[in-house]
């Protein structure tokens, strides 16, 4: 019987940390690879100069904004994510930690492999590919403030400078590719402008557009930007039909369908979950596990911080890369400083006074209003967006705590949209006491350094009991059976082994650190098991995984 002819060997949906690994590794193994990316392709000077350039910074195609910063909302969390060719690497904080032992031994997957040992060589590969510098090489006022805050909290021994993916050559000087023997693009030395999360216009940030993706394209992989995949449908007899439309189009959507023998979903946790939920609901992927949406994680995260009424320009709080240091408030609570560059003050609109958690909404609002009435002038000055990025330090707080959400579809205004409910483990926290402690310690040290009043700050979503996360994970997690997760230990979707999930949606637990390196390492491991094109696949079948041969 003649095998069916497909348009592509593999279609990859998304070009972030998982999709980029898949593109390079599968192209290396001889597969014909086509990547769909909903966002646009950026040259360095295409990025916004500051976050106020909404068309180039925010992602809202319905109103003509095709930038790098996505914002999604669920009942229990507000999500910050990325968009564009290179996915979240375009606006992430280039911070590349490995998680601690608790992540690898989490009950969801701990019994399936010795994960810390098995993933170790793939973490090493990911670090080499992403150009990880083991420690941020500069020490300025923010780094001293963070060290002092850690000392004041009695955890100074946990302070460290962050591992970052940045080219620290001569500032502003462009040189031939220093990472891949000349096969990669030219690179320019970091100028410490602070706008890593708006998009690096210098060319110093080691985004996926500087490593995995250009190397994949050299090997023949094709990338089609501004295409949103709307359906992945299993074909009788094997393979998949993948339908896409022009991103943001209301008319002339240019609906197209191609076929592929295999499909890799790497659209980010939000995009991958949304697509899988809709395909399960429509019957396009009838074998999908009922565990879809369970164990959706937020990295147990909070974004608080400290802002001064004013600071001397010489203090230079906005000078550096996005994240440079961290410390642990306790064994499971990790705190990092975060910065935007001068002029990038838009995200300051999310900040407000720090209010105690664990209280009813009216009590939280009352505390906020009461503080403003008692100190109206300082409240107005602290809330000003003028020079916000130069007057403050954001505290990004993450935990390894076992809490989760469960996502599902609900009907709203005639459409099926994602919603959330509290899931397994502890309730997803609406505030983190450790985050408040860290913000207050940072504010005290900032006041001492700048000689002006400073105040700990929270966020408006937190006031309303909705935490912010930049690290939305899980919902299609690795598992030992379809009853307990969506993908097997090789990242093949249970019931549809030609479909794979290799992005944050497969991450089974809260890593408690920035997850980009982990997503990359897990993808490297999964793709290392793929056979070369037309070779024998030596991976066990899913039937063998669930019911091992005696």
Burial 389-423 (b: 16+ CB within 10 A, else e): bbbbbbbbbbbbbbbbbbbbbeeeeeeeebbbeeb
Contacts of 216 by beta carbon, 8 Å cutoff, 6+ apart? 20, 23, 24, 27, 33
Short-list 314, 310, 479, 319, CA closest to 381: 310
Report the alpha-carbon distance of residue 485 to residue 344 in Å, rounded.
40
* 344 backbone dihedrals φ, ψ, rounded to 5°: -90, 80
The long-range contacts involving 371-377, CB below 8 angstroms and separated by at least 24 positions, are none
Q: Could you tell me where the beta strands, DSSP code E, fall in 288-360?
A: 296-297, 302-308, 325-330, 333-338, 351-353
Please report, for residues 310, 353, 367, 369, 377, the alpha-carbon distance to residue 374 in angstroms, rounded to integers and kept in the order given: 20, 13, 11, 9, 9
Q: Tell me which of 277, 471, 484, 491 is the catalytic residue.
A: 471
> What distance lies between CA 186 and its chain's CA centroid?
26
Give me Rg for the CA atoms of the chain.
Answer: 23
Q: Could you tell me where the beta strands, DSSP code E, fall in 400-448?
A: 405-412, 415-422
Find tokens 């001068």 and name the residue. 342
The total of other beta-carbon atoms located within 10 Å of residue 549's CB is 6
> What distance lies between CA 84 and its chain's CA centroid?
13
Sign of the four-CA dihedral 251, 81, 89, 485: negative
Report the alpha-carbon distance of residue 245 to residue 414 in Å, rounded.
20
3-state secondary structure at position 291: coil
Beta-ladder partners of 338: 394
CB 297 within 8 A of CB 511: no
Q: Could you tell me where the beta strands, DSSP code E, fall in 225-280?
A: 227-234, 240-246, 256-265
471 is catalytic: yes
* 430 backbone dihedrals φ, ψ, rounded to 5°: -90, -15
Contacts of 451 by beta carbon, 8 Å cutoff, 6+ apart? 312
The total of other beta-carbon atoms located within 10 Å of residue 535's CB is 10
Please report, for residues 372, 436, 460, the alpha-carbon distance to residue 379 in angstroms, rounded to integers and kept in the order given: 6, 18, 14
Instruction: Give the helix/strand (H/E) hosting 78.
Output: strand 77-82
Tell me which residues are annotated as active site. 471
């Amino acid at each position: 019987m003649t095998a069916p002819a497909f348009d592509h060997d593999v279609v990859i949906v998304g070009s972030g940390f998982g999709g980029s690994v898949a593109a390079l590794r599968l192209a290396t193994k001889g597969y014909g690879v086509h990547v769909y990316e909903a966002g646009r392709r950026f040259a360095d000077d295409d990025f916004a100069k500051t976050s106020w350039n909404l068309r180039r910074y925010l992602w809202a195609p319905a109103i003509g904004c095709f930038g790098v910063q996505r914002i999604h909302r669920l009942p229990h969390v507000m999500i910050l994510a990325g968009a564009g060719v290179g996915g979240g690497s375009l606006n992430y904080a280039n911070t590349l930690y490995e998680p601690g032992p608790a992540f690898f031994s989490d009950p969801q997957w701990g019994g399936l492999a010795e994960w810390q040992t098995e993933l170790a060589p793939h973490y090493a590969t990911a670090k080499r590919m992403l150009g990880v510098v083991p420690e941020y090489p500069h020490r300025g006022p923010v780094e001293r403030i963070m060290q002092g805050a850690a000392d004041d909290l009695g955890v100074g021994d946990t302070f460290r400078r962050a591992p970052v993916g940045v080219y620290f050559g001569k500032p502003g000087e462009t040189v031939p590719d220093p990472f891949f023997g000349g096969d990669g693009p030219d690179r320019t030395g970091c100028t410490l402008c602070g706008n890593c999360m708006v998009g690096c216009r210098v060319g110093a940030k080691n985004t996926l557009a500087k490593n995995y993706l250009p190397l994949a394209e050299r090997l023949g992989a094709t990338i089609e930007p501004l295409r949103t995949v709307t359906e992945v449908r299993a074909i009788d007899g094997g393979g998949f039909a993948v339908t896409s439309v022009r991103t943001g189009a209301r008319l002339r959507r240019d609906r197209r369908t191609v076929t592929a023998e295999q499909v890799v979903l790497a659209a980010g946790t939000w995009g991958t979950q949304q697509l899988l939920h809709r395909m399960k609901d429509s019957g396009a992927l009838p074998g999908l596990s009922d565990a879809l949406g369970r164990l959706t994680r937020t990295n147990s995260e909070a974004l608080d911080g400290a802002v001064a009424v004013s600071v001397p320009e010489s203090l230079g709080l906005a000078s550096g890369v996005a994240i440079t240091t961290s410390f642990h408030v306790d064994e499971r609570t990790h705190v990092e400083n975060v910065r935007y560059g001068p002029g990038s003050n838009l995200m300051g609109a999310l900040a407000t006074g720090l209010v105690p958690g664990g209280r009813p909404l009216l009590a939280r609002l009352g505390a906020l209003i009461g503080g403003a009435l008692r100190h109206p002038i300082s409240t107005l000055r602290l809330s000003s967006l003028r020079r916000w990025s130069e007057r403050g330090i954001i505290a990004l707080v993450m935990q390894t705590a076992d809490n989760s959400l469960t996502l599902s579809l609900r009907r709203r205004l005639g459409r099926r949209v994602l919603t959330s409910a509290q899931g397994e483990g502890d309730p997803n926290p609406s505030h983190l006491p450790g985050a408040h402690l860290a913000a207050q310690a940072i504010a005290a040290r900032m006041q001492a350094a700048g000689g002006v009043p400073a105040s700990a700050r929270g966020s408006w979503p937190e006031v309303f009991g909705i935490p912010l996360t930049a690290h939305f994970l899980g919902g299609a997690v690795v598992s030992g059976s379809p009853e307990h997760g969506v993908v097997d230990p090789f990242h093949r979707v249970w019931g549809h082994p030609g479909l794979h999930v290799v992005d944050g949606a497969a991450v089974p637990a809260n890593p408690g650190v920035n997850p980009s390196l982990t997503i990359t390492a897990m993808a490297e491991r999964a793709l290392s098991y793929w056979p070369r094109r037309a070779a024998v696949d030596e991976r066990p079948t899913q039937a063998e995984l669930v019911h091992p041969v005696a």
